[in-house]
Amino acid sequence: MQLTPQDLKLVERLRKQERRWPRDRWILLLVGIFSLACYGYIVTSLYCGLDFENLQSINVLVFAVLWPKCLMMFLFAVYFIGWAIRDWNGNANRRLLLRLLEEHQIG
């Protein structure tokens, strides 16, 4: 099996991703936890700052602007944490493909 130059570039990119993954998984995990903490604090302070007995339009506006952003960041944070946990030992497909290519080149 002969690999084209584009294939070799893709294989090298996969190897680079595999080498960087131990560091990247910690970065993903920390970014996810940091986002949960920051936006959790924003939501908590936003909720505590609302006076439900006497709602003012500026408070409702601030809530309407920040609440969707907080929900979106919660989703991103959960996605990053889930990605780091799912691929903690590396992406199985990437590892298998690299092993098969290494065995083919050796053999």
Q: Domain residues for 47? A: 5-106
> Could you give the number of structural domains in the chain?
1
The model's pLDDT over 70-80, given as tens digits with 9 standing for 90+, comes to 999 999 999 99
What pLDDT tens digit does each residue of the chain (107 aa) get? Answer: 788 889 889 999 999 999 999 999 999 999 999 999 999 999 999 888 888 788 888 888 888 999 999 999 999 999 999 999 999 999 999 999 999 988 888 76
What's the per-residue H, E or C state across the chain? CCCCHHHHHHHHHHHHHHHHHHHHHHHHHHHHHHHHHHHHHHHHHHHHHCCCCCCCHHHHHHHHHHHHHHHHHHHHHHHHHHHHHHCCCCCHHHHHHHHHHHHHHHC
C-alpha of 40 from chain center = 17
Q: What is the pTM of this model?
A: 0.82
